[in-house]
Amino acid sequence: MTRTLLALALLSVPLVARAQGPDVRDVRPIVMLLVDSSGSMERRGDCVCTTPTCNECMPTCSGATPQRNRWATVLEALTGTWDGFTCAAEDRRNSGYASQADFRYYIDHILHPGEARRIGGGTFAPTVTQQTDGILDSYADRAKFGLMTFDGVSTLRDRPLLVTQLDFEMPGFLTSSAGALGGFSYGERKPFGFPGCGQAYMLDNGAQSEQAGGTLVSVGSDAEDFTLINTNIQAQLLATRPYGPTPIAGMLEDFEFYLQNHPDVAARTVAGGSGDAFQACRPRYAILLTDGYPNADMRDAPYNCEGAGHGFGCPYDTPATTAARLCEYSGASEECEGYIDGLFVVGFTVEDARAVQELHNIAAAGGTCANPATGECAYLVGSSSGPAQLREALADILDQANPGTTTRTVNAFSGTSPGATAQGQAQFNTGFQIPGEGEPWAGVLERRRFECDASNVPVPQDVEDRDRFQTILNNRPTPRRLLTALPNNRNNVRGYLIGDGAVPASVGGSGSASSGGNGRGGSGGKQCGGGGRTTPADARPAETGVRLTSFAQSNSALDRRLFGTGVTQTQRNDIIDWVHGVGRANRLGDIYHSSPVVVGAPEEDLADESYNEFRRRPEVANRPKVVYVGTNDGIMHAFVAEDITITTGPHAGERYTAGEELWGFVPPAVIPSLNSARTGHVFTVDGTPVVKDIFYNRAPGQSADASAYHTVMVFGLRGGGGAYLALDVTDPLEPEFLWQVAHPEMGATYGIPALGQVLIRDSSNNVREISMVLLPGGAGTDLSSGTCGGVAEPLPDGRMSKPLGCPSRGKGRPPVNAGTLNARENMRCWDTTGRSMYFVDPASGEILSYLDDTVFNAPVTGGVSFFTGDVGTIATRAFVTDADGVIWRVDFSNPDPARWDAEPFHDIFHDLTATEGQPAYFPPILTTDDQGRVVVIQATGEVDNLDQPYYENRVVSITENPEYDTTGALRQVTGILNWEVRLEQGERVTGPLELFAGKVYFASFATSPTTSIDACSYGYSRIWGVEYLLNETSATQPTNIPLGALEDTDAPGTFVRHLPPLENQIVMGVRVTQRPTCSTLQEVSETDPYFGTRTYQQVTNANRGEFFLVAQVSGGGTAATGASVAEFSRQLPAPLSYTRVQGWAGSID
């Protein structure tokens, strides 16, 4: 039978009616991986056995291209591709295996990179790295994964297959059966007998247990960190050694036992007790991945348990029978109504026709048959394409568990630009769809138009094809202009690169001598996990002068090896085609976390003549308005926002249409991930871009210079990797590559960077004004263990105990600010990754300075805000929040970069325990009070795990409080807590804060109440509006709460803090916008006695646009006619006087 991937194009019907549309609670489906770990997995998949031992199918590990066995292919599909695969064989008859369940197994074990050696100790190929492109990486936040592998030992390893029931049930035997000798048996033991024989025998095989040494990893409760569970699954897979038979029948019954008995999946019966509160509505799936025919169930010779006269019958039902019982498929509803919503089957390198048919039968009984007419129900995957085809099959299955349109971003807005054809405003909504059928996730970028009618009233227009930018891209008849930046040495593709668009370094830093770390040493006490380094590794560019170049097949510099080890020239061409959208139903990749940003020509003068001259430059004043947004097919896009004809400057006469993609930039750091992105969802360009007009470098008092200013875009990759990138988009038609900053201490770049201007002393000892970008260190790893803070343990109510944590491992305990009574001494036990910050000159790409893990207690995941952050102003400090909920004050008021430092400013969770702090991903809002003191407003919330019901999140307002000694010198800076909003348990702020007219607006999402037995009534979002400073005493908490700023429509004159909950909806942040001001113009002529007659346009009638609070909504709400993204909208009162709406963290024109 020809190996094929069957029926991917046929799976078009959603499997679970009860999970219609996006799951607004983000209650991730359970997906139990039932992975075949039988001995045949040690063999190659492209080989058919011709001898009893089948030694001819063992992989060859010598030579330049070591062969992968089936197990290595499975591991790469699930856990990630090895960068330079190698292998070695171990004989399991060696005494090094004496204590192991597979001791004396006749098939050698093939070691993969990073695996522990049983013979001689140590680790095999420890330096070979593994990419994060496995299915378990890509879908970590989309499913609650669990793992079962085979227990192939029916009795004990050192006992015969036939053991009497009496012997089996002896206490010592049962203990051994549950341990290594018995293959860590799980579930129920089963009796069987022989015709005419009254003696009962007993066996127990199927799946291993979760006791120490076993491989079962439960899906966990909602209180547990799903990322740790995912990491544990990967660790178990990588440590598993295939051996023994293929007991699929026993595994499916053990899975049934798990569903019936394990507290992680059982229904909750007591309010607040153990069990899954979403049990009645959480989708549950299983994926059986196997390479052979089921056995070890006594059906084959010589046992023939299905024959006549067997008093006990077969110990296990057939796999198809158990699958049918698990599914309980209903012809009326055409869905499973039993324990699971579907059992998928993936046959990997299965040749035997009998085995293939059995796999089809199991899938059909499990309710997942793709083509009932032909009976081709299981996925059949060959080995010719390595892990890619297997990854594609698994991705298609997982995509079916998450149907519908989803939005996880905030809106962007634009007004009318010079040269535009109509008066009005555009609102840009984004999201993504998961089409299934093997198709990549698809992005949605829609434009909503508000145009002035004859009565000068802005009227919302229907969304048409000309507003669906993803459709315009799909229909584009001309080749796309995709760009990238390539180092000369391909090994530097993920490294620190300086572009040819950067200007020479002028102040000293990474471009000359690294300033080194500014750590001040640890806080003393117990230190574990590697904290307290005083000088991190130098951060110097790997290459300079890197140029923008085409991302196209014709570019010979785009070497196939950039895409990964072993990629052929043909595969290289296929990857490039895929990024261009060739062969994809949707050319626009998914827009997951990257909120769009609209940038046009600057329209207002400032008290800075250089800026005013800059904005009048022809290429600036006449540039098109552009939407910048990142997608997870590896591209930062530049789309034209509106129809425009350029009248002057270098592009005079050029015409552009709304929705046209000007170019797309493929960051060098994501190029090695693009091959994996073709066959399963992978995060690549997932960060929100930050775009700002900044001057590069000038002396104080320098005369006006139009060339001093540039428009610079900076963005991180979020889950796509550990790098930040910058482009000069002063001329958006011809961008320039500035730099890619990466560093060994940098984690996944979740934080949003910030651009500002500072004073600095250059290498000639002169103080200059330069621009600077602050780059947060990114995500890190919690190393909590028995020796470092303790491990969380399950409590009777289903929650987890709180470990003691570790002493704060950077600067130490935050200050106890006024309005609070405490600050945490201990926090989570963080590794060094992400506990850093980088001060970068955006013009040159040089790292001026950095702070390391001797400063920061936790990874710096939050966005950054400068004070002041206005264009052309000098900033002296910034604020950022770490992964434990501590706000940091970063001080760069001294022009000497060696004096730049950071101090903990406020512990948001000052009265909670060490491990209850929560991260912030969005920048704080900075403003001032009536005394000119800085006010910091910050919110927390883990937005990647919306179904986590137990943690508390907060929104706080703190006033900066400098304290001076008797000489007038600054002694320290503390804070005064103005108010805090303590959200409901399980509720978190879901997007950026907005400051408008002295009010703070934000959105939150909460799961169902944790005291509920059945939480399937969905969650809810709330829209908040509070005074930024004014407060009142709370009757329910010891700290003050803010005054409400939203007028109650049912009680005019009464103000509330939040609107009624939006049931069954997720709102991911809010924005404030002003609808267009519509006016009537009349041509007027006048005659001047000195200058003669002149004609001009005079406004004869105007209607000022109203202000609105708007948001995108998942799972409910109403979309505009023709649109696919639902919206929330509420009118706000206009300010008392005309105001240009702007905050230092988020702004609106």
- Cα 193 to Cα 199: distance, rounded to the nearest angstrom: 6
How far apart are alpha carbons 860 and 741 in whole angstroms? 16
Nearest to 208 by CA among 229, 167, 239, 230: 239
CA pseudo-torsion sign 1142, 1143, 1144, 1146 = negative
Q: What is the pLDDT of residue 468?
A: 94
* One-character DSSP codes across 951-1016: ---EEEEEEEEEEE-TTS-EEEEEEEEEEEEEPPTTEEE-S--EEETTEEEEEEEE-S-TT-S--T
Task: Please tell me the predicted confidence (pLDDT) of residue 792.
Answer: 62
CA distance 265 to 268: 9
Q: Tell me if 365 is assigned to some domain.
A: yes
Does residue 381 lie in a domain region? Answer: yes
Burial grade of 106 (CB within 10 A; 0-12, 13-18, 19 or more)? exposed
pLDDT value at position 1143?
Answer: 33
Asked if 334 contacts 342 with a C-beta cutoff of 8 angstroms, the reply is no
Range of the domain at 334: 8-17+29-44+59-265+273-403
* SS3 state at 628: strand
How far are the Cα atoms of 19, 401, 1111, 1124 from residue 1117, in angstroms, in the given order?
Answer: 17, 22, 10, 11
Distance CA 1093, CA 1111 (A): 50
The pLDDT, as a whole number, for residue 436 is 64
Tokens of 109: 């074990």
Amino acid at 418: P
Q: What beta strand segments (E) does 729-872 contain? A: 736-741, 754-761, 767-776, 806-807, 826-827, 837-840, 847-851, 865-867
**Mutual angle of helices 319-327 and 353-365, in 10-degree steps:** 20
140-178 core/surface letters (b: 16 or more CB in 10 A; e: else): bbbbbbbbbbbbbbbbbbebeeebebeebeeeebeebbb
The CA-atom distances, in angstroms, between 479 and each of 470, 544, 660 are 15, 30, 12
Q: What pLDDT score was predicted for residue 627?
A: 98
Q: Which two tokens stand for residue 306?
A: 């299905």
Torsions phi, psi for 135 (to 5 deg): -60, -40
Q: By the 8 A CB rule, do 187 and 111 touch?
A: no
DSSP category for residue 270: S
On whether residue 390 sits in a domain, the answer given is: yes
Using CA atoms, how far residue 1086 sits from 314, 662, 867, 1083, 1092, in Å, is 104, 43, 48, 10, 8
Element (H, E) at 147: strand 144-151
- From residue 763, give the alpha-carbon distance in Å to each of 507, 508, 757, 894: 5, 6, 18, 15
pLDDT of res. 448: 95
* CA 877 to chain CA mean position, Å: 29
Contact indicator for 348, 391 with CB cutoff of 8 Å: no
Radius of gyration (C-alpha) of the chain in whole angstroms: 31
State the virtual CA torsion across 187, 189, 190, 192 in degrees, nearest 10: 160
Contacts of 1032 (CB under 8 A, 6+ apart): 1040, 1041, 1042, 1043
Say which amino acid occupies 295: N
Report angle CA 6, 11, 14 to the nearest 5 degrees.
155
> Before 81, cis peptide (omega within 30)?
no
Do strands 635-640 and 548-550 pair parallel, antiparallel, or not at all (unpaired)?
unpaired
Beta bridge partners of 286: 32, 343
In the structure encoding, which two tokens stand for residue 473, read together? Answer: 């891209």
CATH number for position 399:
3.40.50.410
CA 32 to chain centre: 21
Predicted pLDDT of residue 26: 52
Q: What is the structure's pLDDT at 2?
A: 30
Total structural domains within the chain: 1
**Does the residue 647 lie in any domain?**
no
User: Phi, psi (5° rounding) for residue 14?
Assistant: -55, 140
Question: Which residues of the chain fall short of a pLDDT of 70?
Answer: 1-27, 384-385, 401-405, 416-423, 436-437, 505-539, 784-803, 1008-1012, 1017-1018, 1084, 1091, 1095-1100, 1116, 1137-1149
Residue given tokens 């010598």 in the structure block: 62
**Beta-carbon contacts of residue 380 (< 8 Å; ≥ 6 apart):** 3, 4, 5, 6, 346, 347, 350, 356, 359
947 assigned to some structural domain = no
Residues 567 and 573 sit within 8 Å (Cβ to Cβ): no
pLDDT at residue number 27: 65
Q: Where are the alpha helices (DSSP H) in 141-216?
A: 165-168, 171-177
Given a contact cutoff of 8 angstroms between Cβ atoms, the answer to whether 738 and 502 are in contact is: yes
* Distance from C-alpha of 585 to C-alpha of 597, rounded to nearest angstrom: 26
- Going by C-beta distance under 8 Å and a sequence separation of 6 or more, which residues neighbour residue 523? 807, 808, 809, 810, 811, 812, 813
Residue 990's CB is within 10 A of a number of other CB atoms, namely: 26
Among 25, 17, 11, residue whose Cα is nearest residue 434? 11
Report the amino acid identity of residue 885: G
pLDDT in the model for residue 847 = 93
Q: Is residue 591 part of a domain?
A: no
Q: How far apart are alpha carbons 1067 and 20 in whole angstroms?
A: 18
Block residue for tokens 């070691």: 111
Q: Are 400 and 14 within 8 A, CB to CB? A: yes
Considering only CA atoms, which of 933, 948, 995, 973 is closest in space to residue 1146?
995
> Which amino acid, residue 883?
A
Establish if 846 belongs to a structural domain.
no
- Which 3 state secondary structure label does DSSP give 560? helix
Residue 310 lies in a domain: yes
pLDDT given at position 852: 93
Strand partners, 412: 428
How many C-beta atoms lie closer than 10 Å to residue 452's C-beta? Answer: 22
